[in-house]
Amino acid sequence: MPTPVSECLYCSKLPILDELMIKITDLKVSELYLFKEQSHPGRCNVVYKDHGIELYELSEEDRNAFMNDIVQAARAIQKVFQPAKINYGAFSDKLSHLHFHLVPKYSDGYNYGGVIEMNPQKVYLKEEEYYQMIQRIKSSL
């Protein structure tokens, strides 16, 4: 059953959103967020502008623009953090809002070679560290 807009983490800007992520910036058709949990340094989320949309439901123009936003964010993550690989996850079983997780993986880092955990709750940073990460990502977009 689709999530109503009023219960959508992204559309309604529910308080849990601020507990989980920090908005970095607006992209062409999406918003870019930094996850506060940083087991994978540089982990971000690219969130489509509209609610309840499946990737296959987008017009070709919007789908291409969204994919370009994802690529732009991934390039910035690669430039700033230089991971061995970036994993992409598009989950929405319980939250029907189109978004992609961008999870940098490091050959000597947490869970390399494994499936990403949604929120392992292992690594949190100081506010200044988040701010510095966000500035580095923004300058690389």
Could you report the per-residue pLDDT of 87-122, keeping only the tens digit for each?
999 987 778 899 999 999 999 999 999 998 888 999
Could you report the per-residue pLDDT of 60-77, keeping only the tens digit for each?
999 999 999 999 999 999
**Secondary structure (DSSP) of 28-53:** SSEEEEEES--SSTT-EEEEESSSS-
In the CATH hierarchy, which fold is given to the domain comprising 5-140?
HIT family, subunit A (3.30.428)
Predicted confidence band of residue 1 (pLDDT cuts 50, 70, 90): low
